Structure 1
Amino acid sequence: MSDLELVKHIGTESTRFRAVLQSAKPDAAVPTCPDWDVADLVWHLTEVQYFWAAVVRQQRTTLAEVEAEDLRRPTGFPELLRTADRCARDLVEVLRRTPPATPVWTWAEDQSAGFVLRRQAHEALIHRVDAECVTGARTPMDAALAADGVDEALRVMFGGAPSWATLTVDEHATLRVVSSDTGHRWAVNLARYAGTDEEGHEQEGPTLAIAPVDHLLPAVATVTASAADLDCWLWGRPPLGDVGLSGDVAVLAGLREVVAAGVQ
């Protein structure tokens, strides 16, 4: 997916997000984010977009260098929506004029404005789904964007290990994730990470190892659905269609263990 398409999706998904929630009650519960009400959901996306616009605009390469004034949460819901609109438009404009290769701080291995661009397109998309789950007015997700979201979820959110950890891959626990409508495929192995974190604590847990390319080698389990349904399933949001799970029950349970950890 091109950088220009990602920028466009940030604007489109953010606009849809606000439009869906304009008529919602600010204190209505968000079923996909149990600790939040509608106002909390709007404020969350607003803060996120405000922060990353500041990071990219200032082109800071460490978190300590980022100079972002505290964004005050409006007390009224209409003003909150106006603030959300302003922050979304600012993020889109900053990302549109910043080359993706520009070095900036991120929490990931990829320290570039391009990472922020991709991440914020999917942040807006998934929270648009959250908004629609409040009102029940679900609309289609762009298939290409959703497929890219699956790739990001598997490789960035669920895959690999921290820099301080050792990754151990189970060569026999093989899965194939298949997007039935776009034709994308991912070869996945269950794995575990273990090591001592920056604060000196021993850490270990389940993760995934994603092959750079799926060479269609045999897999003991398969997950198949449309790109949109896969994206929702990986993010813990309700798919609109079926997600087909077949093959080795233990390997599928291992995948569920990783996915159940969740990403907000």
Structure 2
Amino acid sequence: MEKSGYLTALRRDGGRLAEAVRDLRAPVAACPGWDVAELVWHTGEVHWFWRQIASGAVPGPDDYREPPRPADDELVTWFAEGVEALAGALAALDPAEPRWTWAERKDAGFIQRRMAQETAVHCWDALSAAGRDEPVERELAVDGIDEFLRFFLPDAPPAGFRADVHLHATDGPGEWLVRPSAAGWSVTGEHRKATTAVRGTASDLLLLLWRRKGPEEVEVLGDAEALEEFVDVSQLN
């Protein structure tokens, strides 16, 4: 995906998230202890932070100051306005423009991608809280799996983890073979036998990696325990 696709996704899924809000007190199953109000605030505050970085208002997290939290009756409007402000700030940047990020890649393109992906997953959270199980758009989900496997696995596999995991999208092109080694992780697009094979739509595979869906919601062939261990090693807060 490219810049224009990420900005389209950010605006689309930000709008869908805002539209999905019906009950701010509804629980968010994927985020224990959160209700929808906390989800909207969290996503909006993440947008605020990266807008400050993208615009150059702050050079990094040490200079960042959290915005005041709006009252509940103003929260969704504040969030929606923030989506558009973030999209505008990101639209003004060439993807190669240097910017601080927490990852090894330090440019605006990383932020453009990360904000589209962050918003897509939290949009799914909001829809789920409203009783709607709607998939992440397929092209974005495929890109999200690529992003996850590059940036959200630990630098080295945990001691004793030796399983190969093959992810295979069933709704179009997309497969990933993840192999651990002493040097780190190898991620390729090849099709070959693995300790564990996982088949599902691109959206379901992405949501599995982000712990929004369980192994029972995809097809697992081989060592199911290895899949659970693989999902658990990711660097998620």
TM-score, L = length of structure 1? 0.80
Structure-2 separation of matches of 1:28 and 1:234: 24
Alignment-mate amino acid for residue 32 of structure 2: P
Which of 66, 72, 79 does residue 70 from structure 1 map onto? 66
Q: Provide the C-alpha distance between the structure 2 equivalents of 1:97 and 1:116, rounded to a whole number of angstroms.
A: 13
Q: Which amino acid aligns with 2:6?
A: L
Within-5 A mapping of 1:75-86: 75=71, 77-86=72-81
Instruction: Say yes or no: does 1:190 pair with 2:180.
Output: yes
Alpha-carbon deviations, 1:19-55, whole Å to 9, x = none? 100x22x222211111211111110011000110010
SS in 2 for 1:173: coil
Give me the whole-angstrom Cα distance separating, in 1, the residues matched to 2:152 and 2:217. Answer: 23
* Structure 2 counterpart of 1:49, from 47, 59, 74: 47
Contact 1:27 1:39 in 2 (8 A): yes
Task: Output aligned runs, 1:81-100, within 5 Å.
Answer: 81-100=76-95
Query: Structure 1: 5+ residue runs without aligned partners?
Result: 194-207
Q: What residue is the counterpart of 2:122 in the other structure?
A: 127
Q: Provide closer, same or farther for how the CA distance between residues 56 and 224 of structure 1 changes in structure 2, counting only shifts above 3 A.
A: same
Aligned twin of 2:185 = 209
In structure 2, what residue type is equivalent to 1:190? Answer: P
Residue in structure 2 matching 1:138, options 130, 133, 142: 133
1:169–1:209 CA contact under 8 A, matched in 2: no
**1:1-264, aligned counterparts within 5 Å?**
1-21=1-21, 23-24=22-23, 26-58=24-56, 62-64=60-62, 66=63, 68-75=64-71, 77-158=72-153, 160-161=154-155, 173-190=163-180, 209-211=185-187, 213-238=188-213, 242-249=217-224, 251-258=226-233, 263=236
The one-letter code sitting in structure 2 at the alignment partner of 1:18 is: A
Matches of 2:110 and 2:225, distance apart in 1:
34
SS at match of 1:223: strand
- Name the CA shift for 1:218/1:53 in 2 (closer, same or farther; >3 Å): same
AA at the equivalent of 1:133: S
Give the whole-Å Cα distance in 2 for the aligned partners of 1:150 and 1:73. Answer: 32
C-alpha separation between the residues in 2 aligned to 1:116 and 1:96?
11
CA contact (8 A) 2:45 2:66 kept: no
The count of corresponding residues between Structure 1 and Structure 2 is 237
| Kept in 1: contact 2:10–2:116 (CA 8 A) | yes
What is the Cα-based RMSD across aligned positions, in Å?
Answer: 2.7
Are residues 30 and 168 of structure 1, via their aligned partners in 2, closer, same or farther at CA, if it must alter by over 3 Å? closer
Higher share of residues assigned strand: 1
Partner of 1:108: helix, strand, or coil? coil
Is the contact made by 2:176 and 2:190 (CA closer than 8 Å) also made in structure 1? Answer: no
**Matched residues in 2 for 1:18 and 1:146: separation?**
20
Tell me, in whole angstroms, the C-alpha distance in 1 between the residues paired with 2:210 and 2:224: 21
Q: Which moved more, 1:6-15 or 1:80-89?
A: 80-89
C-alpha deviation, 1:189, in angstroms? 1.4
Of the structure 1 ranges 53-62 and 227-236, higher mean CA displacement relative to structure 2 is found in 53-62
Alpha carbons 1:185, 1:214 under 8 Å: kept? yes
Give the Cα–Cα distance (whole angstroms) in 2 for the partners of residues 27 and 252 of structure 1: 33
| Distance across 1 between alignment mates of 2:33 and 2:100 | 29
Per the TM alignment, residue 167 of structure 1 is displaced from its structure 2 partner at its CA by 6.5
Classify the secondary structure of the residue corresponding to 2:84. Answer: helix
Identity of aligned residues (%): 29
Structure 1 residue matching 2:163: 3-state secondary structure: strand
Give the direction of change, closer, same or farther, for the CA distance of 1:13–1:170 in structure 2 (3 Å limit). same
**What SS does the corresponding residue of 1:141 show, helix, strand or coil?**
coil
Q: Distance in 1 between matches of 2:159 and 2:88?
A: 41
CA separation of 1:189 and 1:42: change in aligned 2, threshold 3 A: same
